[in-house]
Chain A
Amino acid sequence: MSAVVESDGLSRRPPLRRRRARRRSDAKWAYVYVAPAVALVVGFIGYPLASVIYHAFTTWDGLSPPVWVGWHNFSLLFHDPIFRTAIRNNVLFAISVPIEAIGALILAHLIHQRVPLWRFFRSTFFLPAIYSTVVIGVIISVVLLPQGPVNQILGHVGLSSLRHNWLESSGTAIGSIILVVIWANIGYSVLIYLAGMSSLDPQLEEAARLDGAKFWGVLWKVHAPNLRRVVELVFVINTITAFAYMLPYIYTITQGGPGFSTYATEYYIYDTGFTGQRLGYASAIGMVLAVIMLAIGAIQVRILTRGGRI
């Protein structure tokens, strides 16, 4: 079928054949444009991921060629008491997530409602987030020493009986790390919520106040339902932190001690892989951790988005 071409100089749609050829040419260029990004993703994410999956089924010390052992690493893993301790600790760290998510929401609401000194609180809540986790860990490891500032203050205010070896007791070491993580990360969550609240239509709040809603009513009946997606984001981010970003805190505060009581899974991966020269086993731990996190993430998203309820 031949195209109809006007001869009056006005542009018309080019013939179908030419449009198809142009779309194919555009597609080629699209591939060229995304090629560098794809190369980076493949090189820095895809290849390492494939390597970890492969090495999880091998015994490898990093110095000699890996030896295929099949599921051996995984069977060792499920009988490994240190791994069980590490996963238990990650679950304990994850207990801080609802506290952080809901606590941050309340703090963000307070700031949004312009309570007295709200600018000051906004800055101080966010201050820990600008420090490196290593710096926070080092500071905390000094602050919680038996002769550190915390115990000194308790002594000065007449609470000497509460003085404790916070980081050398299994019970309080984990609790201390959880409190530090909440303090270090809550500011970031507050900021995310504030951004969400700022994007809401102010008329919603006005209407709620006209209907008699007070401070908490506005939070739970207006902000929270409309920030469902933001809450979901905060929960997911903090859960990922609890399972995959504890290494700097543990490395600098307790080094996994006393004993193995504050080991987390990624600290165990580092310790096993590099100090223990068991890179195959460390890869297996990494794979199991990734599967656990995927499962938790999927469950979280499902729960949080079901029926629009938080």
Chain B
Amino acid sequence: MTRKRGLLATTAVLAAIILGACGSSSSGGSQKARGGSHTLHLWLGGDLTQATHGSPFLAWVDQQIGRFEVQNHGWKIVTSLLPFSNGANAAQLEAAFASHNTPDLMNLYSGQFTNAYTKVLLPLTSFVAKTPGLYGSIPESVWNIECTKYQCNGGKGTILGVPWNSGAYYLFYNKALLAKAGIAQPPATYTQLFADCTKLRAAGVLPLSMGASDGYDTSNVFTSNLVSTLGPGDMSAILAGKLGYDNPKLVAALQPVLQLTSPSTKCTSTDALGQDQLHGINAFQAGQAAMTPYFGLQLATFKQALGTKLGVAPLPLSGSGPLLHVNNGYAGNPFDGWVIPKGSQNVAMAWKFIQIASDAAANRTSQSEMGLSPAVTSVVARLRDPLQKTAAKLAANPAIPELDQVMPGTFAIFMYKQLGLGQEGKQSAEQTLKALQQYAVSQPKQGQ
């Protein structure tokens, strides 16, 4: 009897030990894989969270991996997709960094999405400095978003990521539908836009399709308009807390944007109020709306849907501020950058991959296959397709970055929600930005 009990007890204890060992071995599995063979572990965040089977994003990633593996015999790259949702993405990154279980390199959204992890990312300044021509091939205004405090200081600042694209928000338009209303050119100002909305409605055409519910469309259109109301240094002052979010310059930029969904302008249908950014483009893509604001990565899809009827232009502006004459006078920034976590086991090889995946060839194919405009100046200059060229020139060497790309993440999330309320007509531009400012001052300072 005692022997039986002893056996049972021993079995129970062994089971507990095995359970515990299983838990620790599964969390350390990727470490074992990394240590044992020539394998680089790459996590795909940012725009590359869309690199699913059959997608142009995965095709592009596979191309870069293929180039790396040819140049580095015996090395393999294993990829993992990060979640598309920003919240889930952040949760996974938090867990990875906190448990010191990080991959060899990652692609992350630029700006505050990278700066949030300053403490756990390897500074790449010396790597960039030792790579001839790399820093000079991309405009400083694009590099800045990949640096701490968004200042690269000619390559001497702390570089956290290497950008491989530069994007902006554009006004896509349907030439045929505009022509139906007797409109020869897309609107350059909000005054023209509201007038065009009236003409298009009279011609039986939905003027603008956009999503108002989640605040993302509003945020991008608003921050694109900031280039026409802010002055030099204002963006830095906003981020430093020296210029309030409720400053009249920002209110002036938001006011016309909120009118887009107002019944008085008739620019959008009531569907816009219930749609998010992703679904807001549906009516345009279906050839039912004359215009839509969106990112350049939808260019190829729009082209497929609309063919030669598709046009791309800068978003309308409401002001005539001095930033319109700085750099290319538009708002934009790199969307993505390659980063190396401090815990990377293969830093040298990770850097080799980054060099390949951010060179001119990678930039060229990123434009042609994914619609992400290149960061490399020489690639922009050689683009032939007029639509791609227009989009790329607007995004290359921007005057200011998109505000939500550089402000603290929690501020951006709060801002999206307030902008969503404003776009639905529940509060004015002043109220929206006042709420944001009140939120900003109530939060603990977040380091950049």
* Chain A residues proximal to chain B, CB less than 8 Å: 25, 29, 32-33, 35-36, 39-40, 43, 59, 62-64, 79, 145-147, 165, 167-168, 255-260, 270-272, 274-279
Residues from chain A with Cβ under 8 Å of B424 in the complex: 168, 258
Knowing that A35-B13, A274-B90 touch, tell me 13 more A-B residue pairs with CB under 8 angstroms. A25-B2, A32-B9, A32-B12, A36-B15, A40-B16, A62-B98, A146-B274, A165-B274, A257-B420, A259-B420, A275-B86, A276-B410, A277-B94
Are A36 and B13 neighbours in the complex by a CB distance under 8 Å? yes
Using an 8 Å CB-CB cutoff, how does the interface string of B302-345 with A read, 1 for contact, 0 for none? 00000000000000000000000000000000000000000000
Using an 8 Å CB-CB cutoff, how does the interface string of B112-131 with A read, 1 for contact, 0 for none? 00001101100000000000
Least CB distance from A292 to B in Å reads: 23
**Sample of 9 A–B contacts (CB below 8 Å):** A32-B13, A64-B119, A146-B270, A165-B273, A165-B274, A256-B417, A258-B426, A272-B410, A275-B90
Are B420 and A258 neighbours in the complex by a CB distance under 8 Å? yes
With A168-B424, A275-B90 as contacts: A59 and B270 at CB distance below 8 Å = no
Q: Does B8 contact A (CB under 8 A)?
A: yes
Are A145 and B274 neighbours in the complex by a CB distance under 8 Å? yes
Using an 8 Å CB-CB cutoff, how does the interface string of B417-438 with A read, 1 for contact, 0 for none? 1101100101000000000000
Are A35 and B12 neighbours in the complex by a CB distance under 8 Å? yes
**Interface residue tally of chain B, by bracket?**
35 or more
Residues from chain A with Cβ under 8 Å of B13 in the complex: 32, 35-36
Are A257 and B417 neighbours in the complex by a CB distance under 8 Å? yes
**A62→B409 CA distance, assembly (Å):** 15
Are B98 and A63 neighbours in the complex by a CB distance under 8 Å? yes
Residues from chain A with Cβ under 8 Å of B119 in the complex: 63-64
Of all chain B residues, the one with the shortest Cβ separation from A34 is B12
**A39→B94 CA distance, assembly (Å):** 27
Of A33, A165, A271, the contact of B12 (CB 8 Å cutoff): A33
**A33→B8 CA distance, assembly (Å):** 8
Are B274 and A167 neighbours in the complex by a CB distance under 8 Å? yes
**A291→B447 CA distance, assembly (Å):** 32
Are B98 and A258 neighbours in the complex by a CB distance under 8 Å? no
Of B88, B117, B213, B410, the contact of A258 (CB 8 Å cutoff): B213
Residues from chain A with Cβ under 8 Å of B442 in the complex: 79
Of B15, B16, B409, the contact of A277 (CB 8 Å cutoff): B409
Within 8 A of A (CB), among B375-421: 409-410, 413, 417-418, 420-421
Are B9 and A257 neighbours in the complex by a CB distance under 8 Å? no
Using an 8 Å CB-CB cutoff, how does the interface string of B86-109 with A read, 1 for contact, 0 for none? 111011001001100000000000
Of B16, B94, B98, B273, the contact of A168 (CB 8 Å cutoff): B273
Q: Does B196 contact A (CB under 8 A)?
A: no
Residues from chain A with Cβ under 8 Å of B418 in the complex: 259
Q: Taking chain B's interface residues, is the majority helix, strand, or loop, or is none over half, making it mixed?
A: helix
Q: Taking chain A's interface residues, is the majority helix, strand, or loop, or is none over half, making it mixed?
A: loop
**A39→B91 CA distance, assembly (Å):** 27
Residues from chain A with Cβ under 8 Å of B86 in the complex: 275
Are B90 and A258 neighbours in the complex by a CB distance under 8 Å? no
Q: Does B73 contact A (CB under 8 A)?
A: no
With A35-B16, A257-B420 as contacts: A168 and B91 at CB distance below 8 Å = no
Of all chain B residues, the one with the shortest Cβ separation from A80 is B442
Are A146 and B9 neighbours in the complex by a CB distance under 8 Å? no
Least CB distance from B99 to A in Å reads: 10
Residues from chain B with Cβ under 8 Å of A62 in the complex: 94, 97-98
Are A36 and B16 neighbours in the complex by a CB distance under 8 Å? yes
Are B8 and A275 neighbours in the complex by a CB distance under 8 Å? no
With A32-B9, A63-B119, A146-B274 as contacts: A260 and B16 at CB distance below 8 Å = no
Of all chain A residues, the one with the shortest Cβ separation from B16 is A36
Least CB distance from A91 to B in Å reads: 21
Residues from chain A with Cβ under 8 Å of B234 in the complex: none
Residues from chain B with Cβ under 8 Å of A257 in the complex: 213-214, 417, 420
Are B409 and A276 neighbours in the complex by a CB distance under 8 Å? yes
Are B420 and A278 neighbours in the complex by a CB distance under 8 Å? no
Residues from chain B with Cβ under 8 Å of A279 in the complex: 94
With A35-B13, A258-B424 as contacts: A271 and B273 at CB distance below 8 Å = no
**A105→B98 CA distance, assembly (Å):** 47
Are A274 and B87 neighbours in the complex by a CB distance under 8 Å? yes
Are A147 and B16 neighbours in the complex by a CB distance under 8 Å? no
Residues from chain A with Cβ under 8 Å of B20 in the complex: 39, 43
**Which of B117, B417, B420 has the most chain A CB within a 10 Å cutoff?**
B417
With A168-B424, A258-B421 as contacts: A36 and B12 at CB distance below 8 Å = yes
Residues from chain B with Cβ under 8 Å of A274 in the complex: 87-88, 90-91, 94
Are B273 and A29 neighbours in the complex by a CB distance under 8 Å? no
Q: Does B271 contact A (CB under 8 A)?
A: yes
Residues from chain B with Cβ under 8 Å of A275 in the complex: 86-87, 90-91, 409-410, 413
**A279→B274 CA distance, assembly (Å):** 32
**A79→B12 CA distance, assembly (Å):** 50
Q: Does B5 contact A (CB under 8 A)?
A: yes
Residues from chain A with Cβ under 8 Å of B214 in the complex: 255, 257
**Which of A79, A167, A168 has the most chain B CB within a 10 Å cutoff?**
A168
Residues from chain B with Cβ under 8 Å of A25 in the complex: 2
Least CB distance from B342 to A in Å reads: 10
Least CB distance from A207 to B in Å reads: 50
Residues from chain B with Cβ under 8 Å of A64 in the complex: 119
Residues from chain B with Cβ under 8 Å of A258 in the complex: 213, 417, 420-421, 424, 426
Of all chain B residues, the one with the shortest Cβ separation from A148 is B274
Are A146 and B410 neighbours in the complex by a CB distance under 8 Å? no
**A271→B88 CA distance, assembly (Å):** 10
Q: Does B36 contact A (CB under 8 A)?
A: no
Q: Does B233 contact A (CB under 8 A)?
A: no
**A16→B271 CA distance, assembly (Å):** 85
**A268→B16 CA distance, assembly (Å):** 35
Residues from chain B with Cβ under 8 Å of A36 in the complex: 12-13, 15-16, 19
Residues from chain B with Cβ under 8 Å of A277 in the complex: 90, 94, 116, 409-410
Residues from chain B with Cβ under 8 Å of A145 in the complex: 274
**A62→B86 CA distance, assembly (Å):** 17
Q: Does B54 contact A (CB under 8 A)?
A: no
Q: Does B444 contact A (CB under 8 A)?
A: yes
**A41→B200 CA distance, assembly (Å):** 66
Give 6 nearest A-B pairs by CB, closest first: A36-B16, A274-B91, A146-B274, A276-B410, A275-B87, A32-B9
**A256→B12 CA distance, assembly (Å):** 45
Residues from chain B with Cβ under 8 Å of A35 in the complex: 12-13, 16
Residues from chain A with Cβ under 8 Å of B16 in the complex: 35-36, 39-40
Of all chain B residues, the one with the shortest Cβ separation from A151 is B274
Using an 8 Å CB-CB cutoff, how does the interface string of B227-265 with A read, 1 for contact, 0 for none? 000000000000000000000000000000000000000
**A170→B9 CA distance, assembly (Å):** 58
